[in-house]
Amino acid sequence: MRLGVFGGSFDPVHFGHLLLAECCREQCALDRVWFVPAATAPHKSDTAVTPAAARIAMLELAIAGHGAFDVSTVEVDRGGLSYTVETLDEVRRTQPDAELFLLLGADSLVDLASWREPARICELATPVVVERPDLAPADSGPLARVVPAEVTERIERHRVEMPAVGFSSSDIRRRVAAGLSIRYRTPRAVEKYIDTHGLYRGAAK
């Protein structure tokens, strides 16, 4: 099985997340894509995040009906800071026969060299870098200094293209807090969940 692992806060999930996952599934011939909401992202440890149960519920609503998409609670169940290397180690233990692919936005490739154990991450999974036509190609130079050449070559073979979309979770939160519409930025079921549960109505995060 070719399994894509897509991590993030998903606070909330939006159409950009879903399109990225679908482009990776199609272009990398993935059998499954797991959306893995973080318990606490290391780079957001000082930022308030919506409770995991709500973020998981919104993800499940967003991917309902897509036979290749699943939500994994591996990071939420583990708790604490969510380090990618620990998540991939755990996925490898539970899915020993799967070939793992780590789905990344182009900006994350530059940062990957500074993540915990980047070389180990690249041993466990092939990073799949998603490029957008409105952005310059992601630079693999920083990562090339900490991983073998064959890793960066493998990354270059798995670059994925997706259309330019300007959606972001932070913008959705700001719009809800300001009483503005989020229609067509996130699935309708997620929009209704946000409204029903009164999420993001306070100060924008």
CATH of the domain at 134: 3.40.50.620
Give tens-digit pLDDT for 24-82: 999 999 999 999 999 987 766 556 789 999 999 999 999 999 999 999 999 999 999 99
Residue with tokens 């290397």: 85
What strands lie across the sheet with 126-131, from one edge to the other? 69-71, 32-37, 2-8, 99-105, 126-131, 160-161
- Sorted by sequence, the CB contacts under 8 Å of residue 67 that are 6+ apart come out as none
What is the torsion angle, in degrees rounded to the nearest 10, for the CA atoms of residue 112, residue 113, residue 115 and residue 120? 100
pTM of the model: 0.92
Total domains in the chain come to 1
28 within 8 A of 3, measured Cβ to Cβ: no
Residue 18 carries which side chain, given as an amino acid letter?
A: L
Residue 108 domain-assigned?
Answer: yes
Residue 10 domain-assigned?
Answer: yes
Q: Which of 111, 113, 109, 92 is nearest to 158 (CA)?
A: 109
Between 18 and 132, residue with greater pLDDT? 18
Residue with tokens 């159409």: 15
Region of poorest pLDDT, from 39-43, 45-49, 86-90, 97-101:
45-49
Residue 70 domain-assigned?
Answer: yes
Residue 194 has pLDDT above 80, yes or no: yes
Residue 21 domain-assigned?
Answer: yes
Residue 67 domain-assigned?
Answer: yes
pLDDT the model gives residue 118: 94
Triad 66, 25, 41: Cα angle to 5°: 90
* Cα→Cα distances 139→57, 107, 110, 135, 202, Å: 35, 9, 6, 11, 38
Residue 203 domain-assigned?
Answer: no
Residue 204 domain-assigned?
Answer: no
Residue 90: burial class (beta carbons within 10 Å; 0-12, 13-18, 19+): middle
Q: How far is CA 190 from the centre of its chain?
A: 17
Residue 202 domain-assigned?
Answer: no
What residues make up the domain containing 14?
A: 2-196
37 within 8 A of 56, measured Cβ to Cβ: yes
